[in-house]
Amino acid sequence: MKVLITGGAGFLGQRLARKLIDKGTLRLQGGDWPIHQIDLLDVVAADTLGDARVRCLVGDIADPQVLRSAISRDTAVVFHLAAVVSGQAEADFDLGMRINFDASRALLETCRTLGHAPRVVFTSSVAVYGGALPATVRDDTALNPQSSYGTQKAMAELLLADYTRRGFVDGRVLRLPTISVRPGRPNAAASSFASGIVREPLHGEAATCPVAPDTRLWLLSPRRAVEALVAGCELDAAALADRRPINLPGVSVSAGAMVDALREVAGDAVASRVAWQPDERIERIVGSWPGCWDTGRAERLGLCGDEDFRAIVRAYITDDLTASTQ
Amino acid sequence: MKVLITGGAGFLGQRLARKLIDKGTLRLQGGDWPIHQIDLLDVVAADTLGDARVRCLVGDIADPQVLRSAISRDTAVVFHLAAVVSGQAEADFDLGMRINFDASRALLETCRTLGHAPRVVFTSSVAVYGGALPATVRDDTALNPQSSYGTQKAMAELLLADYTRRGFVDGRVLRLPTISVRPGRPNAAASSFASGIVREPLHGEAATCPVAPDTRLWLLSPRRAVEALVAGCELDAAALADRRPINLPGVSVSAGAMVDALREVAGDAVASRVAWQPDERIERIVGSWPGCWDTGRAERLGLCGDEDFRAIVRAYITDDLTASTQ
C-alpha cells in the first residue's frame, strides 16, 4: 500500500517519511501493512531520503488534478500536513482559504472517489480555540477561532468529520500544540518565536521574543509530534467514535520559563541572547490561544507528549543541533 | 438603502419581506434608514407582494454572477435564508455543499467586494449540535454536527465570523429552532413533521409522526422567527462582541405533547388524525438535536420566542389557517 504525505518537503513531513521508512509497516484494520511507496507532495521538491520507496511529487496542493495524480486506488493513508501558517493566513486571507481550506476539501473529495475510505490524518491546531475559554480546554471545547488560520482549520475539521461519518474517508484530526523546537529558519507563523528563542541562541545568534514573559504556550517536540502522527493513524476507528479531533498532549509553559529552561540546559551565555521586544500583532494572535488543557483522552488513546520544556530543548540538541554541527 | 433576501420566494422570506414593507425602515448604526428596495432572490420567482419597492430576482444562489447582480453598493443588509433542507442535504451531499456552504461563501465574498461591510443576517440551525451534549445547550456549546446539513451550516457560521472579524461584513448568525407551524405542504426537511402533525389535521387531513412521542423538539413560530430576524439585524455589533451566533429562544416540547396541545386547542377529532409511524432515518437525525437550552443571551439581547406550543398552534390558526380558508 501507498502513503501520501502532503507538505512532504516540510520538516515535519520529512521526519514523518523517515519514521515510516524505518517502521516499514502501518497497523491498519488489525493487520500490519507493508508500505510499498511514500509519496511526498509539496510545492517544492522534497528530499527522497535516499530510499527507493519515496517518490517526490511537485505541485499545487489546491489543484484537484495534482491531487488526482497523487492519490490512487492503492493509497491507503494520507497524512495531510500541507498548510499556510497562521501569520501568512492572517496577512493573505485568500491564500489561506485556498491552501488551508480549499485544498483540504479537494483532498477529501479525491479520497472519496477511491471508494475504499482511506485513512486521512489531518493536522489541526490550537488556533481553532479562542475568545472566552473555560479554565481547562478539552477535545470537545467549543471552537471559536480568532484568526483566519484557526477558522480555516476548524472548517476543515468539520468537513473531515462529515466525510468520515458518511464513510467517504476514515479521518483523524490531531490538534498539534505549537511545534518547538523547529529546525531551520524563522517562518511566518505567529508562533515562530517559540522555536526561535531556543534555536537561534543555541546556534550563537540573537533572538527576540515578541510576547510578554508570562504568555503561556503549549508545546510539542518534533520527535513526539511524528510519533503522535503515526499513532493517530494506527488508532482503531471504534476508539474515536463520533469525536475525530484529538488535542495532543503538550507542555504548558510561559515564554519566560522557556528561556529559564534554556538557561538551565545550555547556560547563561546562551539564554542571554534572547531579547524581549513585544509585537502587538503576534501577542494578539498567540494570546487568543488557550494555555491550560485536559488531554486525558489523547493519553488514554496512547498519544504522548514531552516530559517538560527542558526535555524539549534537549531533544532539539540531540536531534538537530548536534546533527547540523557535525 | 437596499435589502436583499435570499430564499426570498420561501415562506419565511416572503413574511420577512412583508414585515420590512410594513416597517419601512431598519435601525442601523444609530439611525432609522428607509428601505428603498427589497430584492427577493430565489430559484423561482418570488411574489413581489404588490409593493413597488419589492423586486424579484430569479437565479442560482451559488452562481457568483447572480450574486454580483443581486448585491450592489447600496445593499446595506442581506438576510441569507436560502438553503437546502436537512433531509435533502443528507440525501444529496454535493447539492447541500453547493447551496448551504458554497453559496454562503460566495455571498460573503460578494459582500466583501462592496467595501462597506454590509450587515449579513445568516440563519443557522440547531443541527450544528449533536453527539454527547451537556444537559443544557448554550450559544457557546461546542459544534458537533451529526448531519451534512449541520456541518455545512457550522462551516458557514465559522466563515461568517471570520469575515466579520476581518471587517468584510457585519455578520449575525441566528440559530433558528425548528419552525412550526410552517404553512403549505410537507418538505424534505427531517423536521417537516413538526409542522405536518398540526397543519394537516387542522386542514382535515391525516398526518403521520415519524418519531416516538417522547422525542423532544425545539420550536419557534414563523411569526416570532420573522420578528427575531429583524431584531437580530438591528442589534448593535458591540452587543454581540466576538460571539456572532445566537440560539433563538424556542419552546421545548415532545412530539406527544405537541399532539396534546393540538387536542386542547382544536379538539379530539383533529388530534386523532395523527398516526404514529416511526421512521428510523428521521429519528436518527432529529434525535441528534438537543432538547434543552439556555437562551438567556438571546433574551437579554431582546430576541423572544413563543409562550408555549398552544400559542404556536393558535398563531398558525390566526396567521395561516383562517387566511387560507377565507
In chain A, where are the structural domains located? Answer: 2-178+219-247, 193-217+251-291+307-324
pLDDT score recorded for residue B87: 86
Q: Taking the C-alpha atoms of A167, A168, A173 and A179 in order, what is their torsion angle to the nearest 10 degrees?
A: 160
Across the interface, of A93, A144, A154, the residue whose CB is closest to B166 is: A93
CB distance B308 to B251 below 8 Å: yes
Dig out the grid coordinates for B28 from the structure. Answer: 442601523
Contact B98, B106 (CB under 8 A): no
Question: Class of the B2-176+221-247 domain?
Answer: alpha beta
| CB contact (8 A) between residue A162 and residue B141 | no
Rg (CA), chain A: 19
Residues 6+ apart with CB under 8 A from B23: B35, B230
**What fold, for A193-217+251-291+307-324?**
UDP-galactose 4-epimerase; domain 1 (3.90.25)
Regarding the domain delimited by B193-217+251-294+306-325, which CATH topology (the fold level of the hierarchy) does it fall under?
Answer: UDP-galactose 4-epimerase; domain 1 (3.90.25)
Q: Is B161 on the interface with A (CB under 8 A)?
A: yes
pLDDT of the residue at B11: 92
**B24 is written with which cell numbers?**
419601512
* pLDDT-based confidence at residue A178 (cuts at 50, 70, 90): very high
- Are residues A74 and A56 in contact, defined by beta-carbon separation less than 8 angstroms? no
Please state, in angstroms and rounded to a whole number, the distance separating the CA atoms of residues B159 and A151.
Answer: 7
The string of DSSP codes covering B140-160 is TSPP--SSHHHHHHHHHHHHH
Distance CA A197, CA A174 (A): 25
Give phi and psi for A204, each to the nearest 5. Answer: 80, 10
Report the top-level CATH class of A2-178+219-247: alpha beta
Catalytic residues of B: 149
Shared fold status for A2-178+219-247 and A193-217+251-291+307-324: no
- Give the model's pLDDT for residue A325: 55
Residue B217: closest CA among B157, B275, B293, B279 = B293
* pLDDT over 50 (residue A289): yes
What pLDDT tens digit does each residue of chain B (326 aa) get? Answer: 999 999 999 999 999 999 999 999 999 988 999 999 999 999 999 999 999 999 999 999 999 999 999 999 999 999 999 999 888 999 999 999 999 999 999 999 999 999 999 999 999 998 899 888 888 898 888 899 999 999 999 999 999 999 999 999 999 999 999 999 999 899 888 889 999 999 999 999 999 999 999 999 999 999 999 999 999 999 999 999 888 999 999 999 999 999 999 999 999 999 999 999 999 999 988 887 787 889 999 999 999 999 999 999 999 999 988 766 54
Strands B170-176 and B245-247: parallel
- Residues in chain B closer than 8 A to A285 (CB atoms): none
pTM for this model (two decimals): 0.93
State residue B326's pLDDT score.
47
Q: Which residues of A touch B165 (CB under 8 A)?
A: 146
| B145/A159 touch (CB, cutoff 8 Å), yes or no | no
> Is the Cβ–Cβ distance between B57 and B40 less than 8 Å?
yes
Query: Does B141 reach chain A within 8 Å, measured CB to CB?
Result: yes
Its ipTM equals 0.92
**Cell, residue B319:** 396567521
Which of B132, B159, B165 has its CB closest to that of A155? Answer: B159
Q: Lowest mean pLDDT: which of A31-45, A212-226, B129-143, B300-314?
A: B129-143
Question: What residues are paired with A2 via a beta bridge?
Answer: A37, A75
pLDDT higher than threshold 60 for residue A326:
no
Residue B324's pLDDT is what? 62
What's the pLDDT score for residue B225? 97
